[in-house]
Chains A and B, each alone.
Chain A
Amino acid sequence: MHASRLQQLIFERRALLLAGAQLLAGGVLLGRMGWLAVSEREALSAAAERNRVALRLVPPRRGLLVDAAGLPLAENRPAYGVELVPSLAGDLEAALDRIARLVPLSAEERAELLDSAKSLRGSGTLRIASDIGWDAYAALNVELADMDGLQPVRTYVRHYPGGAAFAHALGYVGKPTREQWQESRDPLYLHPGFRVGKDGVERGLDQRLRGTPGVERVEVNARGRILRQLDSRPDTPGETVRLTIDRGLQQHLAAFLGDESASVVVIDCQTGGITCLLSVPAFDPDIFSNRIPSALWRQLQEDDHKPLLPKATQGLYVPGSTFKTVTALAALAEGVPPTDTVHCPGRYTVGGRSWHCHKRSGHGTVAMERAIAASCNVFFYATARRIGNQAVADMARTLGLGQTFDQLPIPSLRAGIVPDAAWKAKRFGEDWTVADTLNTAIGQGSLFVSPLQLAVMTARIATGQIVEPRLLADAPPAAFPPLAIRPDWLGVVRQGMREVVNGPGGTARSARLPIPGIELAGKTGTAQVRIITAAERRRGVRRNESLPWRLRDHGLFIGFAPVDQPRYAVAVVVEHGMSGSRAAAPVARQAMTYIYDRDRAETDLEKRVGERERRRRATEDAARRAAAEAAAAAAAPPSAAPAPSAGAPAR
Chain B
Amino acid sequence: MMGLLNARWPQRLATQPWGLILLVLAIGSFGAVVLYSAAGGSIAPWAANHMIRLLVLTAVMFAVSLVPPTLWLRLAFPLYALTLVALALVEAVGTLGGGSQRWLDLGILRLQPSEVMKLVLVLALARVYQFVPLAHVGKLQGLLLPLLLVAMPVVLVLLQPDLGTSITLIAGGATVMFLAGLSVWFFLVPALIGAAALPILFNMLHDYQKARILIFLDPAADPLGAGYHITQSKIAIGSGGISGKGFLQGSQSHLAYLPEPHTDFIFATMAEEWGLVGGAVLLLAYGILFAWGWRVAFRATGTFQRLVAGGLTMTIFYYVLINLMMVMGLAPVVGLPLPLMSYGGNAMLTVMPALGILIGIDQESRRREVPAARAGGWTSPRPLATRLARPRGMDA
A interface residues with partner B (beta carbon < 8 Å):
1, 3-8, 10-12, 14-15, 18-19, 22-23, 25-26, 28-30, 32-34, 36-38, 40-41, 43-45, 47-48, 51-52, 219-223, 227
Query: Could you say which of A10, A30, A47 contacts B181, with CB atoms under 8 Å apart?
Result: A10
Sampled A-B contacts (15; CB under 8 Å): A4-B303, A5-B378, A7-B180, A7-B181, A11-B307, A30-B283, A38-B241, A40-B238, A44-B239, A47-B238, A47-B239, A48-B236, A51-B235, A221-B256, A221-B257
Contact A18 B175 (CB under 8 A): yes
Evaluate contact between B283 and A227: CB separation under 8 angstroms.
no
- Closest partner residue, chain B, to A3 (CB atom): B134
Q: In the complex where A29-B325, A37-B275 touch, is A47 in contact with B235 (Cβ < 8 A)? A: yes
Instruction: Determine the residue in chain B with the shortest Cβ distance to A220.
Output: B255
Q: Are B241 and A37 in contact (CB under 8 A)?
A: yes
Tell whether B178 is near chain A: CB-to-CB under 8 Å. yes
**Quick check: is B319 within 8 A (CB to CB) of the other chain?**
no
B307 A48 Cβ-Cβ under 8 A: no
| Cβ of A558 to closest chain B Cβ, rounded Å | 68
Say yes or no: A26-B242 contact (C-beta < 8 A), given A32-B330, A48-B236. Answer: no
In the complex formed, the residue of A with least CB distance to B129 is A7
Interface positions, chain B 316-349, Cβ under 8 Å from A, are 317, 321, 324-325, 328-330
Of the listed stretches B22-30, B53-61, B111-119, B290-298, name the one at the interface; the rest are far from the partner chain.
B290-298
A45 to B242, CA, bound (A): 12
Query: Nearest CB to that of B267 among chain A residues?
Result: A33
Chain B residues closer than 8 Å to A11, beta-carbon distance: 179-181, 297, 303, 306-307, 310
Question: Do B330 and A52 touch (CB < 8 A)?
Answer: no
Q: Which residue of B has the minimal Cβ distance to A46?
A: B239
User: How far, in Å, is B269 (CB) from chain A's closest CB?
Assistant: 13
B220 to chain A, nearest CB (A): 12
Q: State the main secondary structure of chain B at its contact with A.
A: helix
B237-A222 in contact (CB<8A): no
* Closest A residue to B135 using CB positions: A3
Check: B211 CB closer than 8 A to any chain A CB.
no
Interface contact A15-B257, CB-CB below 8 Å: no
Mask, B229-258, CB within 8 Å of A = 1, is 000101111111110000000011011110
**What distance in Å separates the Cβ of B177 from its nearest Cβ neighbour in chain A?**
10
Known contacts: A14-B178, A48-B235, A222-B257. The answer to whether A8 contacts B378 by CB under 8 A is: yes
Q: Does B95 contact A (CB under 8 A)?
A: no
Closest 4 CB pairs of A and B: A44-B238, A48-B239, A221-B255, A222-B256
Interface residue from A4, A48, A223 paired with B256 (Cβ < 8 Å): A223
The docked-state distance in angstroms from the alpha carbon of A23 to that of B324 is 14
Minimum CB–CB distance from A217 to chain B (whole Å) comes to: 13
A8 to chain B, nearest CB (A): 6
Complex formed: what's the CA distance from A254 to B151 in Å?
A: 91
Taking the complex as formed, is B279 at the interface, i.e. its CB lies under 8 A from any CB of chain A?
yes
CA distance A45 to B240 in the complex (A): 8
Q: Taking the nearest CB of chain B, how far is it from the CB of A14, in angstroms?
A: 5
Q: Across the interface, which residues of B come within 8 angstroms of A8, CB to CB?
A: 303, 306, 378
Which of the residues B276, B287, B294, B314 comes within 8 Å of A34, measured between beta carbons?
B276
A402 to chain B, nearest CB (A): 62
Q: How far is the CA of A211 from the CA of B54 in the complex (A)?
A: 60
What chain B residues lie within 8 Å of A5 (beta carbons)? 378
Contacts of A48 in B (CB 8 A): 235-236, 239, 251-252, 257
Whether A38 lies near B242 (C-beta < 8 A) is yes
Residues of chain A within 8 A (CB-CB) of B275 are: 37
Given the complex of chains A and B, what is the CA–CA distance between A40 and B325 in angstroms? 17
Given contacts A37-B271, A222-B256, 7 further A-B contacts (CB under 8 A): A7-B134, A11-B310, A32-B328, A33-B276, A47-B238, A51-B251, A223-B256
- For the complex, what is the distance from the CA of A47 to the CA of B321, rounded to whole Å? 26
Question: Which residues on A sit within 8 Å (CB–CB) of B280?
Answer: 30, 33
If A36-B238, A37-B237 touch, does A51 touch B314 (CB 8 Å cutoff)? Answer: no
The answer to whether residues A37 and B240 also contact, given A7-B181, A10-B134 and a CB cut-off of 8 A, is: yes
CB-based contact A26/B283 at 8 Å: yes
- Tell me, rounded to whole Å, the shortest Cβ–Cβ distance linking B112 to chain A: 26
Say which residue of A18, A30, A220, A221 sits within 8 Å of B314 (CB atoms).
Answer: A18
Q: Complex: how many Å from CA A38 to CA B241?
A: 6
**Chain B neighbourhood of A222, CB < 8 A:** 255-257
Cα distance, A223 to B178, chains bound together (Å): 48
Residues of chain A with a CB closer than 8 A to B283's CB: 26, 29-30
Give the chain A neighbours of B328 by CB distance below 8 A. 29, 32-33, 36
Q: Indicate whether A15 sits within 8 Å of B310 (C-beta atoms), given known contacts A36-B238, A48-B239.
A: yes
Interface check B376, CB cutoff 8 A: no
Please determine whether A44 and B234 come into contact, CB atoms closer than 8 angstroms. yes
Q: Which residues of B contact A220 (CB under 8 A)?
A: 255
Closest CB in chain A relative to B146 CB, distance in Å: 15
Residue B381 at the chain A interface, CB threshold 8 Å: yes
The residues of A that contact B179 with a CB separation of less than 8 Å are 11, 14-15, 18
B380 contacts chain A at the CB level, 8 A cutoff: yes
When distances are taken between beta carbons in the complex, the residues of chain A under 8 Å from B381 are 4
Bound complex: CA A24 to CA B287 (Å):
11
Chain B residues within an 8 Å CB radius of A29: 283, 321, 324-325, 328, 330
Partner of B251, one of A1, A32, A40, A52: A52
Q: Is there an interface contact between B255 and A37, defined as CB atoms closer than 8 Å?
A: no
A410 to B374, CA, bound (A): 111
From 4 to 25 in chain B, residues with beta carbon under 8 angstroms from any chain A beta carbon are: none
Task: Using known A-B contacts A14-B179, A38-B242, determine if residue A33 contacts B251 with beta carbons closer than 8 Å.
Answer: no
B187 → chain A closest CB, angstroms? 10
A5 to B306 alpha-carbon distance, docked (Å): 12
| Binary A-proximity of B176-220 (CB < 8 A = 1, otherwise 0) | 001111000000000000000000000000000000000000000
Nearest CB on A from B257, distance (A): 5
**Pairwise interchain contact B256-A33, C-beta atoms closer than 8 A:** no
| Cα A38 to Cα B243 with chains together (Å) | 10
- Distance, CA A25 to CA B331, complexed state (A): 13
Cα of A66 to Cα of B256 in the assembled complex, Å: 47
B238 contact set on A, CB distance < 8 A: 36-37, 40-41, 43-45, 47
B64-87 CB contacts (< 8 Å) to partner A: none
A45 — nearest CB in chain B belongs to which residue?
A: B239
User: Which residues from chain B contact A25 at a C-beta distance below 8 Å?
Assistant: 317, 321
For chain B residues 102-142, which have a beta carbon within 8 Å of chain A?
133-135
Complex Cα gap A18–B310 (Å): 9
CB A620 to nearest CB in B, in angstroms, measures 63
List residues of chain B with CB within 8 A of the CB of A221.
Answer: 254-257
| Known contacts A11-B306, A15-B297, A222-B255; A36 and B237 CB within 8 A of each other | yes
Q: Are A19 and B290 in contact (CB under 8 A)?
A: yes
A415 to B254, CA, bound (A): 64
Q: A203 to nearest B CB, angstroms?
A: 41
Shortest beta-carbon distance, A10 to chain B, in Å? 4
Known: A37-B271, A45-B239. A12 touches B298 (CB 8 A): yes
Q: Which residues of A contact B324 (CB under 8 A)?
A: 29
B162 CB, min distance to chain A CBs, angstroms: 23
